[in-house]
Structure 1
């Protein structure tokens, strides 16, 4: 009964914090963290022991999956260099640097134990940063980098932590460590891909939304647990499964199924995410009590935490600065790349005009189509790099958004009793996480406003959505063919019905993009034709998503418009 009462109280606190966040502009995780800390210091407050498995096994897989399933693979591909640089290289360098500095300052802490602390505090948590960024309208590419980094840096940090803890008890081998890291990632990618594709296929065969929802809830654990049993990275497996599900689910699941799944996972993400931040704040009193019972003192902990925070910030600024400089050096090459793509496109068109047995054959036509698609994708990538550059101002925001979160504390608690100065390491990790959240999270909105970093202009975005809707409706109308010869699933469509329905399609194209056409009563043929057009529009949209000429925001709005039409037919 007491546990149930505490759970209800926690849910109420989360809801109240969310309301306060919307009224004050402070990110909900920060509000809950402060509430948890304040409540833990109240005399008579019960002890809250945070079990690492609750976070690493119970909360982390669904949180990562809920984020990964919403991140477009196209955006990750376009920023994969910077994401890998920050989520892998920066994590490893930060862990080694923190280990060396802590060992130098506190000789009782071995280098391996210091590296374990470095691995714990190196991964960033993008929850608060993305909440602030979305509210203030950060550019989409900055948001992608933040989310992509937080998806993969947990895996890097946990692998480094496992290697450091193994070195404490069994020695260290660089070759073995590198091999284990590559093996863990490669095997996890394979497991995550298989789980993602298999569950998408299974859910496509189910006609019961309850069963589909049940399967979606177990997907992250289907990926995480086998990967961990195989001594691979369960985190990477979950992320890959989420990315595969989000990418293929766009075409496989119906609009209602996608809407239901999105609502369910947003709810789970909201409750688990914020509940863990509240629980993190509640740990303060127990950590202070453990510190009093150890040989370490609070001033010593604060001094080491301050040193670690400064070191992490300097390293992050340096690594982000490298990417900003590389981005600046790449810009002059974009014109040359565009000209090269134009030359290739002209060559392909010339080959198509000249024809020949190899070109005119079905296989040749397919290959020519693939070539043109790759060229268009290349042009879209160039346009994206030009429209979404990582500038010095954007780099400053990325550098200051390096907040640590619940994974830091949960990973710290996995450090065993055999490690000397364990209490010191755990408390330092907690202070680093809390101070980074409050300091960076509290000042990030001010920094964004001061630097004037903003996203796409709303008028420009509406115009882009209108252009995209125009393109996909035109493609769908052309794919239908002449109105007097339309046959769908063996059913000939009356020309008058086809003409009327295509006129409706014109109204969709000309209507405001933020609302669909008014509902109309449809006969059976009209419904059938509408469904076919919507299917063709979705195919055209999927093609545009593969090419990437339009922004993710425009693609999402257009997809919502198509889904609204499908849901309207269902009603």
Structure 2
């Protein structure tokens, strides 16, 4: 590589990062999604005559970008929420992708010349999965927590379903392939990857726990997605599912086993990685438009022939999704009704069980834990409803994105009308981002969705009260503070400080906290006591998580407060 080439690459990288930063800064002010703005910028730049052609290797997206993005999304997603909506997530990420791919195969066979049904199914598999990156737009638009969980979970797993179908359909275009073989390959791809990812996530967490420096530990964490992806692909399973499984396990174990400094370092650095990779994907997607149009022109076709099939395919995808989500939400509502009807029975069983907290390894404890979880799940389904308005958000929030374009470019080079098919995939993704992504905020404001702000604030207040009860209990325990009268007086100051306004669960006034820190900065014993209190509070929060007593949002916010306070003690 020449010096000029290196300078050009460095300049392009700098401009891309600046464009990503600018788009993420301007997007909230312009009230549009940052991915949509980046695609528009990329398209505009690609049409300039001085700009060279951009060829995006599909491996860059499928291998280089998706594993870390899916790992980061899974790591931040509470396993508790995934379990509660696993049926909905599984139905959307597996059944809906299969049904949509088969029906789109019929459509493309009818409207596109020289396209066999197998190739039509391949293109259907390319267009069926929602995009994990684009789905972040729904969260930023302020969708309810349960909808975000369902859409995020769907987008994390449906890529694997689509890629398995894509490979099977491409194989079917060249030779016969049995339905039984496709089913076996699919089950192995999903189940085998889940096992590989879970093992990698557990082993990785054990290794990271031995690393002292937070910066080094975070740097090592960037290898986790690929440590899960590569072995899964080598044994013929889905590397993307493996990366998701590793992220879920790693995120769940991190709170219990990793120091607060490591978790905070991971939080900030992984968020930076997400912003850069997400923005880069959509920017490059826009930059590739002119190249795709030029490829179609060289194939003696016109880009206009890709517009109407793409528009019709997107409309068909949304209609299929609507027809699927409607009955799914109805079934979920019936299941919720049955669960709520059994609440008195479950509560009575829980009341009749003897309570023996010291005997945590008995069958009785496990039964109590399961009943507590069931009661918490019932309360969750009662609060986080899933009805008609929520169904409309789930339908409209299924955005297509850069993964669709990357998967399309994996079509064999001898595929009939390959350039046109790739351009159709681009237009579907661009229309989905523009139309659905551009109007999802408007839809959320117009639908009668429940406002969960007050409930969340009250829940955080109750949880903060639980934390203060632990503080009060431990600070009068002789085994914690001993017989030191000076320490007891200092503890009294902390007890006075630990009484914030319980209306919203906000922490104490920062000026009072700073003043107290200045007076007690050399009190080693007080720091020891405070660490003991933090450890006990964290154990309580993990117990609440295991029982599902509080929502993941309330628990996460309180855990972040404890991490910040623990880190401040080490300053």
Relative to the length of structure 1, the TM-score reads 0.93
What corresponds to 1:549 in structure 2? 549
What corresponds to 2:106 in structure 1? 100
What corresponds to 1:320 in structure 2? 325
- CA distances 1:405-454 after superposition (whole Å, capped 9, x unpaired): 11111111011113222222211111111111111111111111111435
Stretches of structure 1 that go unaligned for 5 or more consecutive residues are: 353-358
Structure 1 CA distance for aligned equivalents of residues 496 and 62 of structure 2: 51
What corresponds to 2:32 in structure 1? 26
What corresponds to 1:90 in structure 2? 96
What corresponds to 1:153 in structure 2? 158
SS state of the match for residue 390, structure 1?
Answer: coil
What corresponds to 1:533 in structure 2? 533
What corresponds to 2:461 in structure 1? 466
**1:365 and 1:203, CA in 2 relative to 1: closer, same or farther beyond 3 A?**
closer
**1:506 and 1:246, CA in 2 relative to 1: closer, same or farther beyond 3 A?**
farther
- CA distances 1:275-313 after superposition (whole Å, capped 9, x unpaired): 110000011111111111225433332222122112101
**1:483, CA displacement in angstroms?**
2.5
Question: Are 2:256 and 1:251 equivalent residues in the alignment?
Answer: yes
What corresponds to 2:374 in structure 1? 378
- CA distances 1:96-155 after superposition (whole Å, capped 9, x unpaired): 1111211122251011111110111111124344334434x3211011111111111111
Alignment of 1:145-294 (within 5 A): 145-294=150-299
Stretches of structure 2 that go unaligned for 5 or more consecutive residues are: 1-6
Structure 2 CA distance for aligned equivalents of residues 84 and 502 of structure 1: 52
Question: Are 2:490 and 1:485 equivalent residues in the alignment?
Answer: no
What corresponds to 1:436 in structure 2? 432
**1:208, CA displacement in angstroms?**
1.6
Structure 2 CA distance for aligned equivalents of residues 369 and 473 of structure 1: 26
**1:331, CA displacement in angstroms?**
3.8
Alignment of 1:347-366 (within 5 A): 347-349=352-354, 366=362
What corresponds to 2:410 in structure 1? 414
Aligned length: 555
Moved more, 169-178 or 235-244: 169-178
Moved more, 516-525 or 89-98: 516-525
Q: Contact 1:484–1:495 at 8 Å: present in 2 too?
A: no
SS state of the match for residue 154, structure 2?
Answer: helix
**1:547, CA displacement in angstroms?**
1.3
Question: Are 2:391 and 1:395 equivalent residues in the alignment?
Answer: yes
Relative to the length of structure 2, the TM-score reads 0.93
What corresponds to 1:6 in structure 2? 12
SS state of the match for residue 223, structure 2?
Answer: helix
Structure 2 CA distance for aligned equivalents of residues 498 and 373 of structure 1: 37
Moved more, 211-220 or 448-457: 448-457
**1:391, CA displacement in angstroms?**
1.5
SS state of the match for residue 222, structure 2?
Answer: helix
What corresponds to 2:3 in structure 1? none
**1:474 and 1:365, CA in 2 relative to 1: closer, same or farther beyond 3 A?**
farther
Structure 1 CA distance for aligned equivalents of residues 459 and 170 of structure 2: 52
Structure 1 CA distance for aligned equivalents of residues 321 and 464 of structure 2: 41
What corresponds to 2:494 in structure 1? 504
Moved more, 10-19 or 445-454: 445-454
The RMSD of aligned alpha carbons is 2.1
**1:498 and 1:248, CA in 2 relative to 1: closer, same or farther beyond 3 A?**
farther
**1:102 and 1:366, CA in 2 relative to 1: closer, same or farther beyond 3 A?**
same
**1:471, CA displacement in angstroms?**
1.4
